[in-house]
Amino acid sequence: MSSPAPAVSPPPCRHDHPPVTAGLPGGPVNEPPAGFMPQAEQARILTGVLAGIELGTWDQRIVQWLAGWDTCTVLTVASLIARARAAGPARPGR
């Protein structure tokens, strides 16, 4: 019987940089995005990448919860959402 693989934690966020003022990472994220932004700005970014998607009460609550995470986590999640939407539906062989 083999033991389960150990859980892998993401690398720590970097807090030694100025506030984030630019947009989201546009491609694969290889290192934690640097910087800090207030929770309200993080919520705005998440809401922006979810524009056009009907959100229920629970969805909205989770968006606000996510907005409370570290900036690097929020930017990475928002970037994943934006890139997935840009890629469109998955197709065989893609």
pTM: 0.70
Q: How far is CA 61 from the centre of its chain?
A: 16
Domain count within the chain: 1
Residue 50 lies in a domain: yes
Cα distances (angstroms) measured from residue 50 to each of 12, 31, 55, 56: 26, 23, 8, 12
Tens of pLDDT, residue by residue, the chain (94 residues): 555 655 655 555 544 433 333 467 777 888 888 788 899 999 999 999 999 999 999 999 999 999 999 999 999 999 999 888 888 888 877 5
Residue 48 lies in a domain: yes
Residue 12 lies in a domain: no
Residue 80 lies in a domain: yes
- Structure-token match 């690097």, residue found: 72
Domain with 57, as residue range(s), is 39-85
Q: In which element (H, E) is residue 85 found? A: helix 71-87
Cα distances (angstroms) measured from residue 3 to each of 6, 7, 8, 51, 57: 9, 12, 15, 42, 39
**Residue type for 79, please?**
S
